[in-house]
Structure 1
Amino acid sequence: MKIIRRIIVGLGLVAVLAYLAGLVGLYVLQRQFQYDPTGRVYALSETTLTGVETISLPVSDGQVVAGWYAPPREPGKPVILYLRGNAGSYTFEHYRFEAFQEAGYGFLSFDYRGFPGSPGEISQTNILADSLIAYDWLAEKGAPIVIWGRSLGSGPASYLASERDARALILETPFLSAVSVARDRYWFFPVEWLMFDQFPVERWIEMVDEPTFVGHGTADETIGVSHGERVHQRLRNPGPLWIVQGAGHSDLWDRGIWAEAEPFIESAMAQ
Structure 2
Amino acid sequence: MKLLSRLVIGLVVLIVLAYAAAVGYMYFNQRALQYDPQGPITTLAETTLSGAENVAIPVDGSVVNGWYQAPAPGKPIIVYYKGNSGSFSAEHERYQQFVADGFGFVAFDYRGFPASPGSISQQGILDDAVAVFDWAAQKGFPLVIWGRSIGSGPSTYVASVRDAKALLLETPFLSAVTVAGERYPYLPVALVMQDQFPVNQWILDVAEPVLIAHGTADTVIEVTNGERLYQLVPNKDELWIVPGGNHGDLWARGIWRQAEPFFERAVATP
* TM range, smaller chain: over 0.9
1:105-120 mapped onto 2 (5 Å cutoff)? 105-120=103-118
Report the AA paired with residue 188 of structure 1: Y
2:249 is matched with 251
1:69 is matched with 68
Q: CA deviation at 1:189?
A: 1.4
Structure 2: distance between partners of 1:93 and 1:110? 11
1:85 is matched with 83
Structure 2: distance between partners of 1:264 and 1:151? 19
Of the candidates 143, 146, 149, which is equivalent to residue 148 of structure 1? 146
Structure 1: distance between partners of 2:130 and 2:54? 18
1:27 is matched with 27
Q: CA deviation at 1:192?
A: 1.2
1:110-138 deviation digits (Å, cap 9, x = unpaired): 00000000011101111000011101110
1:124 is matched with 122
Return 5+ residue gaps in structure 1 as ranges.
Answer: none
Secondary structure (helix, strand or coil) at the match of 1:115 reads coil
Report the AA paired with residue 29 of structure 2: L
1:169-180 mapped onto 2 (5 Å cutoff)? 169-180=167-178
1:6-65 deviation digits (Å, cap 9, x = unpaired): 3332222211111000010000000011101100110111111121110111111x2211
1:179-215 deviation digits (Å, cap 9, x = unpaired): 1111111111111110111111111101001011000
Secondary structure (helix, strand or coil) at the match of 2:250 reads coil
Structure 1: distance between partners of 2:11 and 2:101? 63
1:194-251 deviation digits (Å, cap 9, x = unpaired): 0111111111101001011000011111111111011110111101100011111111
1:41 is matched with 41
Structure 2: distance between partners of 1:9 and 1:95? 60
1:74-101 deviation digits (Å, cap 9, x = unpaired): 2100000000011100000000000101
Task: Output the TM-score relative to the length of structure 2.
Answer: 0.97
Structure 2: distance between partners of 1:194 and 1:228? 24
Task: Output the TM-score relative to the length of structure 1.
Answer: 0.97
Structure 2: distance between partners of 1:267 and 1:79? 14
Q: CA deviation at 1:5?
A: 3.2
Structure 2: distance between partners of 1:44 and 1:81? 18
Secondary structure (helix, strand or coil) at the match of 1:14 reads helix
2:239 is matched with 241
Q: CA RMSD in A?
A: 0.9
Structure 1: distance between partners of 2:62 and 2:107? 17
